Structure 1
Amino acid sequence: MTFKPKEWPRKLRSQEWFGGNSRDTIYHRGWMKNQGFPHDLFDGRPVIGILNTWSELTPCNAHLRDLAERVKHGIYEAGGFPVEVPVFSAAESSFRPTAMMYRNLAALAVEEAMRGQPMDGCVLLVGCDKTTPSLLMAAASTDLPSIVVTGGPMLNGYFQNERVGSGTHLWKFSEAVKAGKMSADEFAEAESSMSRSPGSCNTMGTASTMASMAEALGMALSGNAAIPAVDSRRRVMAQLTGRRIVQMVKDDLKPSDVMTKKAFENAIRTNGAIGGSTNAVVHLLAIAGRLKIDVTLDDWDRCGKDVATIVNLMPSGKYLMEEFFYAGGLPVVLKRLGEAGLLHKDALTVSGETQWDQVKNVVNHNEDVILPVQNALTSQGGIAVLKGNLAPKGAVLKPSAASEELLIHRGRAVVFEDIDDYKAKINDENLDIDETCIMVLKNCGPKGYPGMAEVGNMGLPPKILRKGITDMIRISDARMSGTAYGTVILHTSPEAAAGGPLAVVQNGDMIAVDVPNRHLHLDISDAELASRLAAWKPNIEHPTSGYAWLHHMHVEGADTGADLDFLKGGRGSAVGKDSH
């Protein structure tokens, strides 16, 4: 793709606040000067908002104050005026009922911060799962020149001479305790091994996946995704990003120039190659919806189906993000995709170069971490989109984290009406369940939980774990952590709380799963299904006030990104006098 920069110099958006000597501009400048800013910073140079999701209650992002200073250095060096703006920060590890409920609120709040304040361009300073998509959604809606820099992953964890992947080993150790294979004291001791440095999850969880998606979309500088949080090169990346955004403003290089349909197809294929999180599905659908780009679940299946998973990282493989960085990181993966004819090489990036120009000369330094295609973890690593009478609008599964022997299976449904029902029953030794059954969890979708919590990877019953069984098919309208693993079918749409077929599954029903043929079938007659749906009535309480009510009333299904309906579509650039 060719991009034609606008001529420079020209009047910038921020000059509507700071340019000239009217009463209003003197008012705006005067208040800013109480922070000690020299007068010449208001002379027409680009004003760059550093949108910082730092928060001590967002542990993945708790080190971003330092990175913000590095971004400022770069902006000043390039002749810009940096202003740091704290924005809504939702952490999956601490927000209840789930950070996903607040992704859309964060996107709305950040969008209004961008629209209502004198910014010519923005650095999106992100890290934890929902901060990356929420700020990308906001940037897509305002279309101000924007660039992502992530906080980076934690260092490897180690416990009893074993690599410990944040999240992934939490599930593993928790199941081991329930199976009687690990003591509670050992579990507590392992806790500190999981998070031994600043940064986000060191597995290919949602945070690292979304950092990779930002880079694959072209919205971050090449190599950004994998640099560990505490590596000095993360600070260098932040400073270079600060320099680059100033030139992007001068060139008027906007998110809509970079995040095209080709860019989304590149990201979808990249997700398959890295064994990325299923959460990337709802996030990329939501970002595309903000740009009014037609990206659907069918695109996920079409683009990702024949992509081999070549990144040997937990939860699909054995290594962690630190090794991925040392091996060459995402640029090596993008080069492999390009060599296989699976990359739109001409897709533009925030660097001003194409994806291919950035990665064509990179080298893989460890072929046990970034595997040759013939040694791939799985030959079809993209997200599998299943459809059928149980999921008319689709459900998703991550093949690289699933058990091959369960990809074609027919089993008896054991139903949990909601997460509380699951918690009440799962440890009961009298629960009528064996390893051939299929666990079904309802009312945990966007409207149901509310917010679509990461509970889809239901822990197995202790009596099953004691047999040495570590995986069963699980079906829900929920999400699961990108650090989790197993044969877990998620995002079933329409969700149960909206009256989808999942709502009427009963204990004892037989369910057929056929992942190779992308089929998910509730084995009852069409007439019986219609009769059950006609008799169905909502069985959960809906919020009646506050943001929870707004979310419930306006959130769309997971199949289109679970965004709020009134925030979708090309809603207009923030540039212009009527924007504040």
Structure 2
Amino acid sequence: MSQESSGKRVKTPESLRSARWFAPDDLRSFGHRSRAMQMGYGPEDWVGKPVIGIVNTWSDINPCHSHFKHRVEDVKRGVLQAGGFPIELPALSLAEQYVKPTTMLYRNLLAMDVEELLRCHPIDGVVLMGGCDKTTPALLMGATSAGLPSIYVPAGPMLRGNWHGKVLGSGSDAWKYWDDRRAGLINQKDWIEIEGGIARSHGTCMTMGTASTMTAIAEALGMTLPGASSIPAPDSNHLRMSAESGRRIVDMVWEDLTPNKIQTHAAFENAIAVAMAMGCSTNAIIHVIAQAKRAGCDIGLEDFDRFSRFVPVIANVRPSGDQYLMEDFFYAGGLPGLMTRIKQHLHLDTLTVTGKTLGENIEGAAVYNDDVIRPIDNPIYAEGALAVLKGNLAPDGCVIKPSACPPHLHRHTGPALVFDDYPSMKAVIDRDDLDVTADHVLILRNAGPQGGPGMPEWGMLPMPKKLLKQGVRDMLRMSDSRMSGTSYGACVLHISPESFVGGPLALVKTGDMISVDVPARTINLDISEEEFARRKAAWKAPEPKYERGYGWMFSKHIQQANEGCDFDFLRTDFGKAVPEPDIY
């Protein structure tokens, strides 16, 4: 993985950003130097050396990042080896499993945390340590707005799970076996054994969930070292990659290789193409749009749908695939191997953190298992992983993952069964007398960016217990919320605009006929325009979710799903992203 510097030094020690804090012979810089000496540092640490911030999202309650407490030392080792001065900066840790109501509520808060950490400290370049779902886009969004040389260190997927000799995939098998338990097919003892076997090491979900999707996207964008995104977290390659990232960021500072030179429109198209080939999480759409807008690139739903038409899914990894996990993907050649198979869909001349082009980075990469990473003429799904639907029920669009749902539900018309909130749905979904059939369309509303709040992962509505007992394992479900990237099924998500702000989903009544046609990319509520108008006129806005604090700010400034759910005041067209501090 070693990457020799191929860039030219354009920065001098005197022009380093950190020199403004440490170099001048004045009282303020005396304070900076004396306080650094208070911590045991000396001039040998900072004079003529880039100061490298290491933004670490470790915490005691984040299992995806539990190894970062130690891995940061490998990053520091690399920085020191290359002649830099490493400074660890703890940042908000978003533990997907524990943060309620959803980590999505706090993605933008972490992005702001990163931006301000870099803005206000004497930092010349930054290593970003993350991996759990919202952490990757948050770190990249913040670093992009800060504009300093940045490199991303992915946490890496955990090892594959195991139960009774069966391979378990996090998330995907949790949903599967939970349905089995609700249907009476497994007992309490089995369930406890599955709990202890499904997550066997530190690291992110080892399925192609949002975590692996977003770290792959970071690599495709050019923001990680080649091959970094799929290294299993416990693998010794991960330690070496971390140290190499520390060495590389020092050179990036001297080369003044900033995110705006890497994250171009073409780079985001590469990210979308790779996402489609990977069988990506539906959450990729929201995060990539937000990241692109931070970088000043006009990327939207249409770009995802366009690429989905011609880039096939070739990564045979759950939940789109049938058996393999991220550990298998890494051994089969990882992302460099996959990218060699979709070269015709990539801009190979885009710049990366190595100082080389994407094409140069993947030159010589290979695939070692044609079943894990399929040839492009033998895909697991002929089109891309996601499809964007529009119609009178979702005028601004919504998304479905057709590669992870039964083909017979790609075209479906059925009566709606509407739930106004998650608790009311949960209260009745297991009732044997629930008036539901396999033809129904389950609808959950008021679960979007404002309604959730924060757009929780409620979109994979649980199958009614009554149907599970009949052997039915999937049906059409739709909402203005999201779902876990490890989920599967015929779930229509991100319906925009959301019902909480008066989107058409707010007007649906139980018994209304809903029509979805994935090949035609349509989704419609089958009522007359006159009836539509009557319901719209009678609709009343719900009470706000928050009256104060961060939640109040979130509700006032959050954008809709089709716009990336960023805060409106953080758009590049709102104003200069990061004014430099006037006083050092």
The answer to whether TM tops 0.5 is: yes
* Counterparts of 2:506 and 2:7, CA distance in 1: 49
* Counterparts of 2:464 and 2:473, CA distance in 1: 10
Does the CA-based 8 Å contact 1:200-1:207 persist in structure 2? yes
State which of 156, 163, 172 in structure 2 corresponds to 1:159: 163
State which of 232, 250, 259 in structure 2 corresponds to 1:228: 232
* Counterparts of 2:581 and 2:471, CA distance in 1: 65
Map of 1:328 onto structure 2: 333
Is residue 381 of structure 1 aligned with residue 384 of structure 2?
yes
Deviations 1:426-478 (A, max 9, x none): 11222111001111110100000100000100110111011111111111000
Does the CA-based 8 Å contact 1:305-1:382 persist in structure 2? no
* Counterparts of 1:579 and 1:153, CA distance in 2: 42
Tell me how far 1:533 sits from its aligned partner: 1.2
What code does the residue aligned with 1:351 have? Answer: T
Tell me how far 1:50 sits from its aligned partner: 0.2
* Counterparts of 2:35 and 2:26, CA distance in 1: 14
Map of 2:453 onto structure 1: 450
Tell me how far 1:534 sits from its aligned partner: 1.5
- Equivalenced residues, count: 577
* Counterparts of 1:541 and 1:20, CA distance in 2: 51
Map of 1:559 onto structure 2: 562
Is residue 478 of structure 1 aligned with residue 481 of structure 2?
yes
Tell me how far 1:538 sits from its aligned partner: 2.1
SS in 1 for 2:493: strand
TM-score (norm 2): 0.97
State which of 303, 307, 315 in structure 2 corresponds to 1:311: 315
Does the CA-based 8 Å contact 2:156-2:203 persist in structure 1? yes
Structure 2 spans left out of the alignment, 5+ residues: 1-5
SS in 2 for 1:51: strand
* Counterparts of 1:56 and 1:470, CA distance in 2: 37
State which of 423, 427, 449 in structure 2 corresponds to 1:424: 427
SS in 1 for 2:449: coil
Is residue 357 of structure 1 aligned with residue 352 of structure 2?
no
Map of 1:524 onto structure 2: 527
SS in 2 for 1:578: coil
State which of 189, 193, 211 in structure 2 corresponds to 1:185: 189
Does the CA-based 8 Å contact 2:417-2:441 persist in structure 1? yes
SS in 2 for 1:396: strand
Is residue 269 of structure 1 aligned with residue 236 of structure 2?
no
Does the CA-based 8 Å contact 1:418-1:441 persist in structure 2? yes
What code does the residue aligned with 1:496 have? Answer: S
Q: What are the equivalent positions in structure 2 for 1:102-251 lying under 5 Å apart? A: 102-251=106-255
* Counterparts of 1:575 and 1:544, CA distance in 2: 30
Q: Which deviates further from its counterpart, 177-186 or 498-507?
A: 177-186
Map of 2:3 onto structure 1: none
SS in 1 for 2:127: strand
State which of 75, 81, 87 in structure 2 corresponds to 1:83: 87
Q: Which deviates further from its counterpart, 231-240 or 41-50?
A: 41-50
TM-score (norm 1): 0.97
Tell me how far 1:245 sits from its aligned partner: 0.4
Tell me how far 1:181 sits from its aligned partner: 1.0
Map of 1:98 onto structure 2: 102
Does the CA-based 8 Å contact 1:13-1:576 persist in structure 2? no
Structure 1 spans left out of the alignment, 5+ residues: none
* Counterparts of 1:404 and 1:352, CA distance in 2: 44
SS in 1 for 2:186: coil
Does the CA-based 8 Å contact 1:285-1:295 persist in structure 2? yes
Deviations 1:252-275 (A, max 9, x none): 101111011001110011111000
* Counterparts of 1:456 and 1:58, CA distance in 2: 23
What code does the residue aligned with 1:195 have? Answer: A
Tell me how far 1:377 sits from its aligned partner: 1.1
Does the CA-based 8 Å contact 2:342-2:376 persist in structure 1? no
Is residue 372 of structure 1 aligned with residue 344 of structure 2?
no
Tell me how far 1:52 sits from its aligned partner: 0.2
Does the CA-based 8 Å contact 2:401-2:491 persist in structure 1? yes
Deviations 1:389-414 (A, max 9, x none): 00000000112111111001111101
* Counterparts of 1:556 and 1:535, CA distance in 2: 25
Map of 1:287 onto structure 2: 291
Is residue 46 of structure 1 aligned with residue 50 of structure 2?
yes
Does the CA-based 8 Å contact 1:144-1:574 persist in structure 2? no
Does the CA-based 8 Å contact 2:340-2:366 persist in structure 1? no
Does the CA-based 8 Å contact 1:114-1:574 persist in structure 2? no
* Counterparts of 1:399 and 1:4, CA distance in 2: 46
Does the CA-based 8 Å contact 1:147-1:350 persist in structure 2? yes
* Counterparts of 1:5 and 1:301, CA distance in 2: 41
SS in 2 for 1:385: strand
SS in 2 for 1:133: helix
Identity of paired residues, percent?
47
Deviations 1:89-143 (A, max 9, x none): 1111100010000001111111111111110000000021111111101011111
What code does the residue aligned with 2:212 have? Answer: S
* Counterparts of 2:549 and 2:335, CA distance in 1: 41
* Counterparts of 2:81 and 2:583, CA distance in 1: 29
What code does the residue aligned with 2:277 have? Answer: A
What code does the residue aligned with 1:411 have? Answer: G
* Counterparts of 2:315 and 2:259, CA distance in 1: 28
Query: Once superposed, what is the RMSD of the aligned Cα atoms?
Result: 1.4
* Counterparts of 1:312 and 1:382, CA distance in 2: 12
